[in-house]
Amino acid sequence: MVQTGGEPPADRAAFREFVRKHHPDVGGDPVLFAAVVEQYRRRQREQGEPESEVDDRFAGPVEFVVTPRGIRGIATRIGRWRARRRRPPRVS
């Protein structure tokens, strides 16, 4: 395994173990978790490690699609289905 950064593997493993045990999603204390994560990040900055790049795959605009509900929704779906049935096949 290639080690990135100047951090010893034992420190990283200890931090990951702490995160697994104390993350707020698994019942940990959010205040303690936030404090330890901030301390870990501060120590990384002091050691000169580059900040991890933000994963922006999901940073796009959010679009909400509103479809009709009830009898109007059923009629809309039937109309779309019939329109698909009437069009010619896509085979060229």
Q: What is the mean pLDDT of residues 43-50?
A: 78
- φ, ψ of residue 38 to 5 degrees: the values are -65, -40
What's the token pair of residue 86?
């009437």
Query: Could you state, in order of their start, the residue ranges of all structural domains in the chain?
Result: 9-46
pLDDT on residue 48: 77
Question: Given its phi and psi angles, is residue 24 left (phi above 0), alpha (psi -120 to 50 degrees) or beta?
Answer: alpha
Is the pLDDT reported for residue 39 higher than 50? yes
CA distance 25 to 33: 11
Is the pLDDT reported for residue 75 higher than 90? yes
Q: What is the mean pLDDT of residues 28-50?
A: 86
- Count Cβ neighbours within 10 Å for each residue of 61-74 and write b for 16 or more, e otherwise: eeeeeeeeeeeeee
Is the pLDDT reported for residue 23 higher than 80? yes
Is the pLDDT reported for residue 68 higher than 60? yes
**Mean pLDDT for the chain overall:** 82
Is the pLDDT reported for residue 17 higher than 90? yes
Is the pLDDT reported for residue 38 higher than 60? yes
